[in-house]
Structure 1
């Protein structure tokens, strides 16, 4: 009974817990290299339905731990009752956990002729499912496994080829190999157990791959191997720390504007561009003439370009109004040069999907109404080159950021309002993803956040300067421009396509052998008493 409990429930819970500890704010990133081992051991020789349940349990623990901040956003700022907020978080975590469940269920169906897990298949399958999670139903690629390694710069440099998914692949490969070696050890410790062969080919190839990735990382991090930067740009970031509950209070509008002016004055003398966060203006910049002119006059007096977020209202063809989450670039002479409208909106934050059914969630939509997406990514002509801008949630989508750089962005700016998250792990998780966007495309990032974390990240992923959470701050930093175009920028998620193809090929082979069909019929084939004559299939 105890043994059954450990294998059925405890090991998946341990995996989920180790995954949580791998991410911010715990940041025990080394645990990610073994976090899946308990789950992989638990699903060994299990029917697919059992493996599905075990995978879902591990995923639920993982995503409840990493998405618990949803409760704070829903309850404190959305005014949703605490029990309902908790239920919404559970629903989101349960949905994300389905991808871990599918990983476990499909993996047991793709075991080799001995009933042993295939490390390469496990890694490819995991990446394929992570990519699907980032695209289905508008996508939610939060807490991808690779993000746990944002501090391990020598490991993550390969992301300029594979994207963050390559790091996830390497992590799962190591986890699966450790689990496989645990099977080898167990077969030699327990009496009567059928000896499991050491997968020497897999061990050698995986070790060589890991060595290559780390060696490539050190090579990329060596300044001698990076192209000389053409020039640099000094950017000032303003973090006003405006309370979310007071942000749209008309009575506090003057106080908010004056706070921005005060903080801007602290950095404006030493920078080429000032950046305010998402939805910085407590008014519609295009619509409210008096405040608009005051801002433009302030910029003219300082003589430095300003990039800031503001809601915008456009007319529709039917005579109605379109609400957009926008950002404006103003020249040092006070001329509005450009406007970018956010493309990828936050479900239940900026719009309510299936609104006729989910009408009770209207309170979550920023107190202004439903936003509509912009027309698409495009770069601005900013100081010292082309500027790419992503707003808040958009930075978690690798391919979206890639499109900006592919269009010619020399440097990236991301503006956000993470006040919704409160003092939770979310601001740290959100910031960690920016590290990968910088490495993937070899472009520096400047990040301005209302309540933090604001800061600078260079093209190799070094976190240069940051602010604390929930403090007023004005931060300046140097952004070096002139990197090389990466394989990831040019070709996008080609690596994930390869992973999907590998998964399908292994599935097709298993189908022909009858193992895949048998697993899903409940006829799980266990390891035979004597080793088969055919060579062990390494993938």
Structure 2
């Protein structure tokens, strides 16, 4: 008896269905679903689909479909651009970004078609090497976009991610892809599994090492005690930080009429947090408008400066300001015109007396969200759709000094490294403040 029309249809399009399945499993392994164990088998259908490809061109499109669907599900956060940009440019930017990142899957698939799946241990090793190399290229090509690196899917897998301290997130991606390719090799050669079992030797060894190393590292770590009355050994240096989340939507945040209420929300939360006597207060990225800090808006400036005096605590605050940062808040002068100077996404360290202790300007900006890449090469009508003034790139890694008063006779200086939102996904950039002797790292973001 022959196959039914439905069965024939499924057989003809089996490779596409397998590609879709892999995209779905990869998506489920990432936040916000967080089914991270799926990542260890998510690419198996994809590798099997490649064996159905008739050539490298067919493999290319199988890879592109997988990558496009995966990133389409992973990157809806690009919709956050809408408050800054026309809805048309938001959709175009989303599709361009998804289409671009999907190309890395396509190139990977085309290259893997050149490696026979019956090559035993060579297939998984080649897959892991090529994949990791392409992830690394994606992390710096054009402006760099490392979101979706498979290693990040394991963020909640504590034993599995400890090896990142040795090999970074790319090392985790290497092991996960190696394991997937080893399983796929065995399944594709299941009739000769005794000969092909060797394809799993290296993946199993490295996976055991990965989890074994993680378990060893965690064995000596004390569990994080979330109780407020937890005791800390006397010789342990601590920094008590109060994070003030405004939970302000993007549409509200950039509406100037909403700012007084937003500022009051942050001030109320800060007063509440100050009752716990923290060493430092931290507000999110671009949480306060620069005009409230300079004194150009006297009422807002008065409320903010009064809060500083009342709480008597240093604060890190995110803002967007022009040109060089003033030496202290409240320095607005009509004689100083900064309207033609570039605007920066900054974090400021402000002491209780209003003096500016330091600032850091974001260096790695979000394409189309904070600046327009290759603006000179785009059609003239594209920049017209952008409804925000692009930020300028920061030039230097500045540490933020904070002076912590432990008691009346002891003031301790702590230098903090800041990473603003998108910058935190770039390991090399996150490492720079540490190399400049930052004792604490902080990530400020503006997501609600």
Q: TM-score per shorter chain, which class?
A: 0.7 to 0.9
Which residue number in structure 1 is paired with residue 422 of structure 2? 393
**Partner in structure 2 of residue 127 of structure 1:** 132
Determine which structure has greater relative contact order: mean sequence separation of CA pairs < 8 Å that are 6+ residues apart, divided by chain length.
Answer: 1
The match for 2:349 is 329
Distance 1:75 1:374, change over 3 A: closer
CA distance in structure 2 between the aligned counterparts of 1:364 and 1:223, rounded to whole angstroms: 54
Contact 2:305 2:354 in 1 (8 A): yes
* Rounded Cα–Cα distance in structure 2 between residues aligned with 1:127 and 1:249: 42
Measured in 1, the distance between the counterparts of 2:354 and 2:158 equals 40
Q: Does 1:89 align with 2:94?
A: yes
Tell me, yes or no, if the aligned pair for 1:177 and 1:203 is still in contact at 8 Å.
Answer: yes
* 8 Å contact from structure 1 (residues 348, 364) kept in 2: no
Q: Which residue number in structure 2 is paired with residue 247 of structure 1? A: 253
How much does 1:302 deviate? 1.2
Report the equivalent of 2:433.
404
1:158 Cα shift? 0.4
CA separation of 1:243 and 1:8: change in aligned 2, threshold 3 A:
closer
Cα displacement string for residues 55-105 of structure 1 (whole angstroms, at most 9, x for unaligned residues): 1111111111111332x3345653414xx6444322211110100111111
Aligned residues: 404
Residues 161-206 of structure 1: CA deviation (Å, up to 9, x unaligned):
1111111111101100000110221xx2xxxxxx465344442332
CA contact (8 A) 2:175 2:207 kept: yes
Name the counterpart of 1:11. 18
Matched residue, 1:529 = none
Whole-angstrom CA distance in 1 between matches of 2:83 and 2:221: 50
Match of 1:274 among 262, 276, 281: 281
Q: Name the CA distance, whole Å, in 2 between partners of 1:319 and 1:389.
A: 26
Distance (whole Å) between structure 2 residues aligned to residue 245 and residue 126 of structure 1: 38
2-structure distance, mates of 1:59, 1:129: 13
Mapping for residues 41-120 of structure 1, pairs under 5 Å:
41-44=48-51, 46=53, 47-70=55-78, 72-75=79-82, 78-81=85-88, 85-111=90-116, 114=119, 118-120=123-125
Q: Secondary structure of 1:337's partner?
A: strand
Q: Which residue of 2 aligns with 1:378?
A: 398
Instruction: State the match for 2:212 in structure 1.
Output: 215
Aligned-pair CA distance for 1:113? 7.7
User: Cα distance, 1:364 vs. partner?
Assistant: 7.3
Q: Give 2:314's aligned residue.
A: 305
Find out whether 1:355 has 2:361 as its counterpart: no
Superposition RMSD in Å: 2.7
Alignment partners' CA distance in 1, 2:123 and 2:213: 26
Give 3-state SS (helix, strand or coil) of 1:233's partner.
coil
Q: Which runs of 5+ in 1 are unaligned?
A: 189-194, 419-450, 452-539
| CA deviation vs aligned residue, 1:330-365 (integer Å, no higher than 9, x gap) | 123332100111111111011112335255454776
CA-to-partner distance for each residue in 1:97-154, whole Å, 9 max, x for gaps? Answer: 1001111111121337859861011111111101111111111111111111111100
- Per the alignment, residue 37 of structure 1 pairs with 44
- Alignment check: 8 A CA contact 1:277 1:417 kept: yes
CA distance in 2, matches of 1:312, 1:379: 18
Q: 1:214 to 1:364 in 2, by over 3 A?
A: farther
8 A contact 1:380–1:388 mirrored in 2: yes
Q: For structure 1, which segment, 168-177 or 296-305, has the greater mean C-alpha deviation from structure 2 after superposition?
A: 296-305
| Alpha-carbon spacing, 1:347–1:359, altered in 2? closer, same or farther (3 Å) | farther
Deviations 1:267-325 (A, max 9, x none): 1132000000111113345644534465334212211110001111017xx99411111
Deviation at 1:45, TM superposition (A): 6.6
Hey, what's the Cα distance between the residues in 2 that align with 1:279 and 1:39? 42
Map 1:104-503 → 2, pairs under 5 A: 104-111=109-116, 114=119, 118-185=123-190, 188=191, 195=192, 198-223=195-220, 230-270=236-276, 271-284=278-291, 287-289=294-296, 290=298, 291-292=300-301, 294-314=303-323, 320-356=340-376, 357-362=378-383, 367-382=387-402, 383=404, 385-418=414-447, 451=448
Aligned residues of 1:352 and 1:358 also touching (Cα < 8 A): no
Tell me if the contact between 2:81 and 2:368 (Cα under 8 Å) persists in the aligned partners: no
Q: Which moved more, 1:295-304 or 1:246-255?
A: 246-255
1:243 and 1:212 map into 2 onto residues whose CA distance is: 43
